[in-house]
Amino acid sequence: MNDLNFFKEELADVAGMFRELILPSIDQDKMDEFANIIAELMIAADSYDGHFEHLLQAAEENKKRTEYGIASKYVHRGYYCPSPITDLIIGNSHRGKLTKSIRSDTKDYFTYIFDEHNHMICAEHRMRVSKDDVPANHEFIIRDENVEFGITFTDNLNKEISFLSQAIYHDGLIRSYSSAIFNAIMQFPMTSLDHEEYFYSDGILQRADVYMGIIPAINSYDKSSYTFNHDDKGIIIGYTESREFQGVMVENSFHVPKNKKIVRKFS
């Protein structure tokens, strides 16, 4: 038994050394903030669980116009992803483009539904399987003043919530975006959170702090900061990533590919 206790103590010491060497310094105030965001997302999931049909009916009743988005990859909500930077910082990802209609051979696309106030109220992700055009999921956008929640339901038999997001706006600009995979049947339905914060000067995005894999239960996250370079039209043409590694800040600079050089305003 004494040998077992000694082993446990040694293992804890090694884990502590690993954390100090590899993981970034943890800001406890930020961790508390993230715990609050997780709680808010959990409340939203609990409020809308089982209400798929009601939300879909409300979206149809309030629909005033429709847009389509195609060819997005690895980006939540496609072209209208709340994050203005996801497609820049994730390799091989892109948000796609808008189109007035969908061709019969398009295999993967989004349908965006807007209300009379020009607010998106539903994003439907559809895929063509064989000859059938089937929905993969529906995301309903719920607004409470400057806070926007995205509740995504997988289009299976039970219409289960599979993804949650929260975007906070101020003066017409997005200030933060949080997202998490959700599985209601698990003991811990939302195991980690991703979070981004944005900083502007004269309405132009200058910096973003990105926290990945936030797990309050073990006091852990991975953080990177991005500083952006712009052309004279305000388009992002490059950026520098800064992140802590083994207690040292490491910087790398990147150019933005031509197909991603767009004015980054999405709603």
User: Consecutive sets of 10 residues in the chain, 267 residues long: mean pLDDT of each?
Assistant: 52 50 74 94 94 96 96 91 94 90 88 96 87 85 96 90 96 95 76 93 94 90 95 92 84 91 73
105 burial class (0-12, 13-18, 19+ CB within 10 angstroms)?
exposed
Burial pattern 151-183, b for ≥16 Cβ within 10 A else e, equals bbbbbeeebbbbbbbbbbbeeeebebbbbbebe
Q: Which residues make beta-bridge pairs with 250?
A: 243
What is the number of domains present in the chain? 1
Burial class of residue 232 (count of CB atoms within 10 Å of its CB; 0-12, 13-18, 19+): exposed
Range of the domain at 197: 2-260
Taking the C-alpha atoms of residue 171 and residue 2, their distance in angstroms, rounded to an integer, is 61
Q: Is residue 267 part of a domain?
A: no
Amino acid, single-letter form, for residue 241: E
Q: What is the pLDDT of residue 4?
A: 54
The reply to whether 91 falls in a domain is yes
CA 126, 81, 28, 226 torsion: positive or negative?
positive
Per-residue pLDDT, 13: 52
Report pLDDT for 76. Answer: 95
Residue 116 within any structural domain of the chain: yes
266 within domain boundaries: no
pLDDT at 18: 47
